[in-house]
A = this chain, B = another copy of it.
Amino acid sequence: MRIVVLAGGIGGARFLRGLLAAAPEAEITVVGNTGDDIHLFGLKVCPDLDTVMYTLGGGIHEEQGWGRADETFAVKEELAAYGVGPEWFGLGDRDFATHIVRTQMLAAGYPLSAVTEALCARWKPGVRLIPMSDDRVETHVVVDVEGERKAVHFQEYWVRMRAAVPAHAVAPVGAEAAKPAPGVLEAIAAADVIVFPPSNPVVSIGTILAVPGIREAVAEAGVPVVGLSPIVGDAPVRGMADKVLAAVGVESTAAAVAAHYGSGLLDGWLVDTVDAGAVAEVESAGIRCRAVPLMMTGLAATTQMAREALALAQEVRA
C-alpha cells in the first residue's frame, strides 16, 4: 500500500508515528510543508521538515514536540552576546548542525529535496520525506503592529507574537511561482490513499495545497483522500490553528475545516467523539465522516487513529 501524507510539524509528525505502527508494510511518502521555513543567522531553517525527521528518527525533544532532545544552547548564547538576534527563536546547538549542513548543501547547489534526502540518510525516518517544493515559499501573516497593518513572517507571528494579535490574512508568498519538488506529483499519482493528518489546515496543509499542481493532483488522484480534524470540541488540539482559521474566514470547528477543504478534495473526515454531532453536517456536504477518539495521547491512541483513517479510506473506496 502506498500512502501519501501532507504534513506540517508536530501534529503531522506524531500522527506519522501512529501510521507507521498501523501500516508497517506501507510505503509512506510525506510531502512536508516548507512555508514556515526561515533564514536565521544566515542559515536555512526548515522547522516542519525537521520536526518530522527528528520525531520519526528518534531525535526529537519529546515533551516540547520540536527541536532536539538533550539540547544545549551555547551558540545561541554567544550570538546574543554579539547582539545578534532574533532571540525569540530557540535554536539549540544540535539543531544548529542540521541547519549548517543544509545551508552548506544548498549553497553548493543541491535543491532542498536532495538536501532533505541527505539529512534523512542519517535519521532514517522510515518514510520518504519530500519538501512540497524546492522553491522558496514563505507564509506571511498580515497583522496590526502599533496601529500599522503589515505582513510578518509566519514564525514571527507564531513564535515571537505567539499569535496573540488577530491575523487579517495569511499568504504563502512565492507559492504561485513554486513548482512541486521532484517526486511529489509522482507520489500522489501513485498513491493508494492520501491522508491529511491533524495538521494546521491553513498554514501547514493549506500551504502545501497552494503550490500549483498539488491540489489538482490530490483531487484527481482517483484514490481516497481522508483527513483527521485538528479541531476537537471547537478548539485546536494543540497550537493556535483557530487564529489562522479566523483569518481565512473559517470557523474553528471540525465541520467547518472539512467544508474548508471541500468535497472536491476530501472524501473522508474523522472528527473526535466529542464532535459526533458534526458527523451529519459533514456527510451532508458529501464527505464521509466518522467520530472516533482523536487525542494523540500516546503511540497506542495515535496508531488507532491511523487505523481509523485507513479504515475510512477503505470504506470510501468500497
- Contacting residues of chain A (218-275) with chain B, CB-CB under 8 angstroms: none
Given the complex of chains A and B, what is the CA–CA distance between A194 and B83 in angstroms? 34
User: How many Å lie between the Cα of A97 and that of B42 in the bound state?
Assistant: 12
> Does A124 touch B at the CB level, under 8 Å?
no
Q: What does DSSP make chain A's interface, helix, strand, loop or mixed? A: helix
Q: Are B81 and A122 in touch, CB under 8 angstroms? A: yes
Whether A94 lies near B122 (C-beta < 8 A) is no
A21 located at the interface, meaning its Cβ lies under 8 Å from any Cβ of chain B in the complex:
no
> How far, in Å, is A248 (CB) from chain B's closest CB?
34
Cβ proximity bits A71-103 to B, threshold 8 Å, 1 near / 0 not? 010111111011110000000111011101101
Given A72-B72, A74-B74, the answer on whether A82 and B94 have CB atoms closer than 8 Å is no
Chain B residues with CB under 8 Å of A81's CB are: 97, 122
Listed from nearest, the 7 A-B pairs whose CB atoms lie closest are A78-B97, A42-B104, A74-B93, A75-B97, A78-B94, A79-B97, A93-B93
A42-B103, A82-B98 given. 5 additional CB < 8 A pairs? A42-B107, A43-B100, A74-B92, A75-B100, A93-B93
